Amino acid sequence: MNEVVLIGIIASAISFATPYLYAAIGEMFAQRSGVVNLGVDGIMLMGAYVGFFVALNVPTPGGLWLGLLMAAVAGLLMGLLMSVISVTLKAEQGISGIGLYIFGLGLSSLLFRVTIGTVKTVDGFKPVPIPVLSGIPIIGPALFNQSVVVYGAFLLVPLAWFVLERTTWGLKIKAVGQSPASADSLGVSVNRVRYVCVCLGGMLAGIAGASMSLATVKLFQDNLTAGLGFIAVALVYFGGWRPLGILIGALLFSTINSLQNFMQVLNVGISPDLAVMLPYIITIVALMFPINRARQPAALNKPFERGEN
Amino acid sequence: MPPASSATRRKIRAANWNDIAFSLALPLLAVLFALVVCAVILLLLGVNPLEAYAAMITGAFGSVSGITQSIAKATPLLLVALGICIAFRASVINIGAEGQIILGALAATAFSLAFRTLPAWLLVPLTMLAGFVAGAFWGFIPGVLKARFGVNEILSTVMLNVVAAQILLAMLKGPLMDTRGVTAGTFLPQSEQLPEAVWLPKLAPQTLMHTGAIVAVILAFVVYIFLWRTTIGYRIRAVGLNIDASRYAGIRVSIYQMLALTLAGGFAGLAGVVEVIGVQHRLLEGITSGYGFSGIVAALFGGLHPLGAIPASYLFGSLLVGADKMQRAMQVPSSLVDVLLGLVVLFVVGSQYYARKRAARRASTSVTTVEEEAATA
């Protein structure tokens, strides 16, 4: 395997990991507060469309940043819709999430076909080489010559850890997800914490979508994410509801995605279609180990009713 | 406590009727609400919503072809919905119908191609059985993972959907690929046409409507009898109504949940079979058409009741057909129907909050009336 191919594989694995990271870290916050948002994929599609639409119509570079911002706003609104249905109205989260997914899938496609029509591309975010580090052979061009959006995704991992483990808000989130009744008795508003977490998760899912349409794939089409948001949900379980675990899972998925793209080039004997299944099967197997389940927030998927628990 | 007076009984009976009316009105209100939200979206896009809806309604109900196409689309929806009903009644959520449809369709294709020489009366039921078993197997996996290892079924079914889609792709590019596509150099990812012996007879010539529709309706009654008139069905429902109480009563909860997921998979697999042998007559990449998800909507809308699923599936089948016709007539993208379906799901599950609240209030008030009667007697 020559150096160029190796750099290519690593670089694309890093960039593929970006949407997974944004979406899964966002979903981690929602789940740590006790809400499974299965609609991540629909939110990502809305974010991807909104970001792309803005970038097409507002000149760069301002347009790209505005696109990213509007994608976050769109994601936030979708998160708000999910919160109303799942937190206030206490709906079964598995179902409301699927509803949100179908809604986002349909609305992004409807808006795309009416306002854009054909598949177009944008220049998108340009790679920004990091001085000194990008000069390291192989690792430099592979890791440190990416766009700002990609760096942002990786910076989000320690940031999420810090919020969760070193701030009062993190403590509240974990309390609400673990034992809402105790948190409530101590004066923490369970529903408010859940609203904030689900909306934050929506915002990050919106950014995840825009990271695809503006930084990695640089185009929009119907169902651009192709179920990537569902993988992001799975990554949260896979990573044991921890930022570091999610990072490892995201890199596993993105490396296999990247290898799949290079498989034709490398001329390996395995069918790429079958190789793609591997991370999904690994995820299922990982879930079979009790250690992973023990880390699950105790109130996950359980709406909170005062005086019930 | 003395028996409640006839006046009280009348009051309670009236309250029950009100409850039934209420539970029927909620989903209809949810749909109405979804239609209004969609109308606003259409208005913002500069489309007259009334014209769009009119095009949808005339498209779905205004012609023989609209109605027969709706029935053809309602058939796999109903089969998926029946499985979803069983799973939900046991308090398990099956998001895996997409993958189970694929497995059923794959098995039906492989089986009917391998045994193409069999007579139709034998080939058709055996092909259906093969698809049912394959789908059931794909439902059994999350079932056993949940029962034995406590793996959340929502997650495992989502994963298995992707695995199934990749198996389908690998098969269509490999062993099942149409040899004609290979020689012609097109390499279309689709199977060869199935033997005519396995094609389901049409209910009316020149339409898409096939006998699978009758099979699906019969199965809806079978599922109803199974859930409400057999011991196993009773236990499945008991698990769904109260897991802890069922456990104390000695019902092996995990076994019944596993069974429910397996059956749900089987029905979704059957949906894949009828799509292949009833409509397409070959296996294609997009064989599921998203029925695995819209089937959930139909099941929910039908009140998670197998008989309620019949009109619900027909309604949503019509919606899909109407949206296609609207797209052709008015250039409004048919993805509008997904927006509508998504909103219906959100509003239906959201509105159940009011039904639960009302039921709780009813329960407490009817108890107090009876108690008051007892006190004055």
Which chain A residue lies closest to B156 (C-alpha atoms)? A284
pLDDT tens, B143-167? 999 999 888 888 899 889 989 998 9
B297 touches chain A (CB under 8 A): yes
In a domain, A282, yes or no: yes
- Beta-carbon separation of A95 and B145 below 8 A: no
pLDDT in tens for each of the 309 residues of chain A?
Answer: 578 888 888 999 999 999 999 999 999 999 999 999 999 999 999 999 999 999 999 987 789 999 999 999 999 999 999 999 999 999 888 889 999 999 999 999 999 999 998 888 888 898 888 888 888 888 888 888 889 999 999 999 999 999 999 999 999 999 999 999 999 999 999 999 999 999 999 999 999 999 999 999 999 999 999 889 988 998 998 888 999 999 999 998 898 888 877 776 666 666 677 777 877 888 888 888 877 777 888 888 888 887 654
A299 touches chain B (CB under 8 A): no
What total of structural domains would you count in chain A? 1
In a domain, A132, yes or no: no
Which of B31, B154, B356 should be substituted to probe chain A, the one whose Cβ sees the most A Cβ atoms within 10 Å? B154
Name the 3-class secondary structure at B302: coil
Nearest by CB to residue B336, choosing from A106, A280, A284, is: A106
In a domain, A96, yes or no: yes
Question: At A240, which amino acid appears?
Answer: G
CA A224 to CA A41: how far, in whole Å? 10
B75-331: CATH topology: ABC transporter involved in vitamin B12 uptake, BtuC (1.10.3470)
In a domain, A286, yes or no: yes
Name the 3-class secondary structure at A147: strand
B95 touches chain A (CB under 8 A): yes
**A84 exposure class (CB count in 10 Å sphere: 0-12, 13-18, 19+):** middle
Which chain B residue lies closest to A100 (C-alpha atoms)? B342
Nearest to B287 by CA among B299, B300, B277: B277
| ipTM associated with this complex | 0.92
Nearest by CB to residue B159, choosing from A109, A276, A280, is: A280
- Beta-carbon separation of A102 and B293 below 8 A: yes
Give the DSSP H or E segment for A127.
Answer: strand A127-129
Nearest by CB to residue B163, choosing from A99, A110, A281, is: A281
Q: Give the structural domain span for A110.
A: 8-126+143-294
In a domain, A131, yes or no: no
In a domain, A74, yes or no: yes
Q: How far is CA A235 from CA A58, A202, A254, B14, in A?
A: 34, 16, 12, 51
Per-residue tokens: A246: 């999610």
- Beta-carbon separation of A237 and B155 below 8 A: yes
- B338: distance to nearest CA of chain A, Å? 4
Q: In this structure, what DSSP letter does residue A122 have?
A: -
Average pLDDT over residues B293-315: 91
CA B161 to CA A51: how far, in whole Å? 28
CA A41 to CA B95: how far, in whole Å? 14
Nearest by CB to residue A293, choosing from B150, B294, B338, is: B150
pLDDT tens, B76-109? 999 999 999 999 999 998 989 999 999 999 999 9
pTM to 2 decimal places: 0.90
In a domain, A305, yes or no: no
In a domain, A300, yes or no: no
CATH number of the structural domain spanning residue A166: 1.10.3470
- Beta-carbon separation of B170 and A114 below 8 A: no
Per-residue tokens: B239: 């698990």
B150 touches chain A (CB under 8 A): yes
Q: What are residue B210's DSSP bridge partners?
A: B202
CA A272 to CA A266: how far, in whole Å? 11
pLDDT tens, B271-300? 999 999 999 999 998 888 889 999 998 998
Map out the domains of chain B as residue ranges: 1-47+332-377, 75-331
Chain B residues whose beta carbon lies within 8 Å of the beta carbon of residue A92: 93, 349
Give the helix ranges, DSSP H, for B174-290.
179-184, 212-229, 231-241, 243-248, 253-274
- Beta-carbon separation of B163 and A283 below 8 A: no
